[in-house]
Chain A
Amino acid sequence: SQQGEEDPQALSIQEGENATMNCSYKTSINNLQWYRQNSGRGLVHLILIRSNEREKHSGRLRVTLDTSKKSSSLLITASRAADTASYFCATSAGGTSYGKLTFGQGTILTVHP
C-alpha cells in the first residue's frame, strides 16, 4: 500500500497563482521528499525535508512538515505554465528501510497561461 497520499488528486490554476499540494502518511519517517514528473519523463527531485525540520524553502518552493499530524504540504508560488506536471511526495522510514522511498499517488497540476 502507498505510504503517502496526496491531496488534491488534480489541481488547475492560472499562471501567477499559488499552488498548494498536501501529503499525508501513516508511519514514522526519517525524511519526506517531493518529486515532479513531466509527461513521459522520469521523476525529478525537488526538495527534501528531514523529520526534525518544520519548513524548507527552495526558490519558489516552500515545504512544511508536521510530524504530529503526519502531513506535509508543497507550495509553489507565482506558478508558471512550465510547472504543469505531476507532483509526488515520498517518505523514507529509515531503520531497516534505509534508502527505500515509498511514493504517494501524486497530484496532477495544470497551470494555464
Chain B
Amino acid sequence: DAGVIQSPRHEVTEMGQEVTLRCKPISGHDYLFWYRQTMMRGLELLIYFNNNVPIDDSGMPEDRFSAKMPNASFSTLKIQPSEPRDSAVYFCASSFSTQGASPLHFGNGTRLTVT
C-alpha cells in the first residue's frame, strides 16, 4: 500500500495567487481529513469528508478556503487568493470507519509558503 499521497511536497507562491493542494487517500478508506499545522496553532482540523461528502467544515478559516472530494480516490484543498498567513504545512489523512475508533493515516504534507 502506497499510503496517503499528497502533492506537491512544497509550494511557494506569491500573495494573491491561487493554490491547489492534492490528496490521494488509501484505497478503501471512507474518511478523509485536511489538517493544517503551524508552530503557533499546532494541528488544526480544517474539514473532513465521509464517503466523499463534507461532514464538518467548521475549521475552514475563511471563504478563501475550499475543499472538494469528487471521488473516493481524490481530494483537493484550494486557497484563493492566498495570503502570507496561510503559510503552513497542510496534511491530508484518511481512515476506515470502525465505530469511530480508527487510526488516521497521514500523508507527508505540503509545505506552503506564501510571500
Contact = CB atoms under 8 A, between A and B. Distances in A.
Interface stretch (A10-18, A19-27, A37-45, A70-78): A37-45
A104 B101 contact: no
Summarize B's interface: helix, strand, loop or mixed: strand
Given A42-B106, A45-B105, A99 B42 contact: no
Contact of B104 (A2, A43, A94, A104): A43
A42 B109 contact: yes
A103 B45 CA distance: 9
Given A42-B107, A88-B43, A104-B42, A99 B50 contact: yes
Contacts of B34: none
Contacts, number: 61
Interface in B79-111: 91, 93, 95, 97, 100-109
B106 A43 contact: yes
A45 B91 contact: no
A44 B106 contact: yes
A28 to B, nearest CB: 13
Q: How large is the interface on B (under 10, 10 to 19, 20 to 34, 35 or more residues)?
A: 20 to 34
Contacts of A67: none
A110 to B, nearest CB: 17
B10 to A, nearest CB: 11
Nearest to A93: B100
Given A30-B101, A42-B106, A43-B104, A100 B56 contact: yes
Given A42-B107, A43-B106, A103 B100 contact: no
**Which 3 pairs across A and B sit closest by C-beta, in order of nearness?**
A42-B106, A45-B103, A103-B43
Interface of A: 2, 30-31, 33, 35, 40-45, 48, 50, 88, 90, 92, 94, 97-106
Given A42-B108, A43-B43, A97-B56, 16 more contacts: A30-B100, A33-B103, A41-B108, A41-B109, A42-B109, A44-B106, A45-B103, A48-B101, A50-B101, A88-B43, A92-B101, A99-B95, A99-B102, A102-B45, A103-B42, A106-B42
